[in-house]
Every structure is written in structure tokens, then in C-alpha cells.
Amino acid sequence: MGSVIFWLIIGGVAGWIAGKIMRGGGFGIVGNIIVGIVGAVLGGAIFSMLGAGSGGTIWSLIVATIGSVILLWLVSLIKGKGNGKV
């Protein structure tokens, strides 16, 4: 149960940070968590392919945030804005 709460917190923070980086603002707590968790999976896959090792809480937050930024950028391309901003 503790690890689920950990991932929800990391996901929420990563989603919020990614929203600020991409100038989209926050997405509400549920939206931030969803963006952050999906971003964590995406970021984990990317960093794994690059051979980057795992780390602690800070590393998890960094990977989740980078993945979330990439996710939001891809969503903005799909939505047709094309400028890379959500």
C-alpha cells in the first residue's frame, strides 16, 4: 500500500511540474496524478533504453517529470497545436 501512495504522490508532483514547464498550468489533482504516472512509465522506458540506472525518490521524480513533459508535448502535437505547448 505504501508504494501505491508513493507513486500517487510522485505522479501528482511530476504532473504538476510538467504542467508548469509546458505552460499548461495544473490539471487538477487527478489529472496531475494521471499525467505523472503515465509520464513515469514513459520516462522509465526511455531512460531504460538509454541505459540510465535507477535511483531514489529524487531520481524517480526527475524521470517522471521528464516523461510527463514528453507526454504533454506529444499530446499537444496530436491536438494540432504544433507549437509544443499545452
The single-letter code of the amino acid at 45 is A
Instruction: Tell me whether residue 4 is in a domain.
Output: no
Closest by CA to 84, choosing from 17, 11, 13, 23, is 23
Give pLDDT, residue 83: 55
Give the end-to-end CA distance of the chain in Å, rounded to a whole number.
33
Mean model confidence pLDDT for the chain: 82
Instruction: Tell me whether residue 7 is in a domain.
Output: no
Output the pTM of the full model. Answer: 0.80
Mean pLDDT of 48-76: 86
Please check whether residue 86 is in contact with residue 72, taking contact to mean a CB–CB distance below 8 angstroms: yes
Instruction: Tell me whether residue 13 is in a domain.
Output: no
Residue 54: domain span: 27-86
CA 38 to chain centre: 6
| Structural domain count, the chain | 1
